Amino acid sequence: MTNPGWYDQGLSHLWLPYTQMKTSPAPLAVARTKGSRITLADGRELVDGIGSWWTAVHGYNHPHIQLAIEEQTARMPHVMLGGLVHEQAARLAARLAAILPGGLTRVFFSDSGSVAVEVAMKMALQYWLNQGVRTRTKFLAFKGGYHGDTFATMAVCDPEEGMHALFRGILAEHPVIDLPRDDETIAAFDTFLESHADQLAAILVEPLVQGAGGMIFHDEKTLKRLRAAADKHGVLLIFDEIFTGFGRTGAMFACQAGEVAPDIMTLGKGLSGGALPLAGTAASQKVFDAFWSDDPQHALMHGPTFMGNALACAAANASLDLFERENRLLAANEIGKAMGRQLGRCLGLPGVKDVRVRGGVGVVELDRIEENAGTLCRRFVDMGVWIRPFRNVVYLTPALTISDDELQKLTGAIVSVLGG
């Protein structure tokens, strides 16, 4: 099919993410979006099963979010937060503080999830430095974890199973161990902390679902175990909710399912409803108090140029309106029930290792993907759906507004492709 002129002119200059551009299939040209649909430039329409990397929780082009962006554009698209502040950022910080768990009362805005995690790490390190403690410089992370692609965040991803093994020996080295989920791993976790807790600035984990590391699930007891261990050893606890936050797992924030609160939490992806780049790092009063000082050196010296962007904050405030007005959490859990029934048909298919669902996350884990993941993706496109497998998982993270028919089209395509 013929691509538009902009496609041929521009593709030779674009550098695409996670793509070996010499051998991968050419990307699809997109003309527009609406709800849970992506319309390609050639007129084909796809039901989106992954919500643009898990961001479009209300679907695309939601009129309430669009209107908020349009009105904010007319007033003020952006102003620096250095020495200035504006209504949208102030309102958003206050609204987040009201709904975040466990007294996370201060929010630092940035423009990507990786940066939000870097800020969390910097906060944790400086929390100790401001108290004269210079020995707590390490972060305890977990196998199967993913926290971003910048240099600090690559160092706390799974070094064996992740996408950053190429940089081994160059990155800072942090301990990465098994999540404490059974007798053996709990014992190893406890032993590690007994020997090394005094070197740790913080423990870092994705609560309930480790996303890009393989859609690996763990339960609420694991979070409570981490909280108890952090308290026992005087270590900060960071929850990376960039993927799991804003209804994705069936609660507003995943950690709320276990009634556990961290000292620092990272937010992103669904924060703006998927409309504009925005991320945040929320801290408890205990953490913030370590920066409250007459000494200017105790300030958090970080400031992304576009932090607290007025357009993005307006979109995020509109997104929170929708969470307040419409029961997205009920929708996530209903979507989960439907995916459990429909994806359950994959059990017993050749090569299927597991099917698991949590809220608006549905996963079919394979022994391995026999063909190139890009080729498998194109087979889904031929069935009218946008599903992008990675590693050994085929997964769905649809908009929480998706219709029953659209969801059935997604799950039916998975059953058909994996069964054929």
Catalytic (active-site) positions: 18, 146, 240, 269
Using DSSP, state whether 86 is helix, strand or coil: coil
Give me the sign of the Cα torsion angle 185, 190, 192, 197.
positive
Q: Are 143 and 178 in contact (CB under 8 A)?
A: yes
d(CA 19, CA 352): 26
- The backbone torsions φ and ψ at residue 137, rounded to the nearest 5 degrees and listed phi first, read -120, 0
Compute the distance between CA of residue 282 and CA of residue 116 in angstroms, rounded to an integer.
9
Is residue 365 classed as helix, strand or coil in its secondary structure? strand
Positive or negative, the Cα torsion across 58, 59, 60, 64?
negative
CA distances from 28 to 196, 348, 349 (A): 49, 33, 29
Q: Which residues contact 121 (CB under 8 A, 6 or more apart)?
A: 139, 152, 153, 156, 201, 202, 204, 238
Distance CA 157, CA 138 (A): 13
Asked whether the beta carbons of 175 and 203 are under 8 A apart, the reply is no
Distance (Å, whole) CA 287 – CA 261: 13
Angle between helix 404-419 and 328-343 (nearest 10): 30
Question: Are 49 and 386 a contacting pair, CB within 8 Å?
Answer: yes
**Given 3-state DSSP classes, what are the helix, strand and coil percentages for the chain, each rounded to the nearest 5?**
40, 20, 40
How far is the C-alpha of 179 from the C-alpha of 182, rounded, in Å? 9
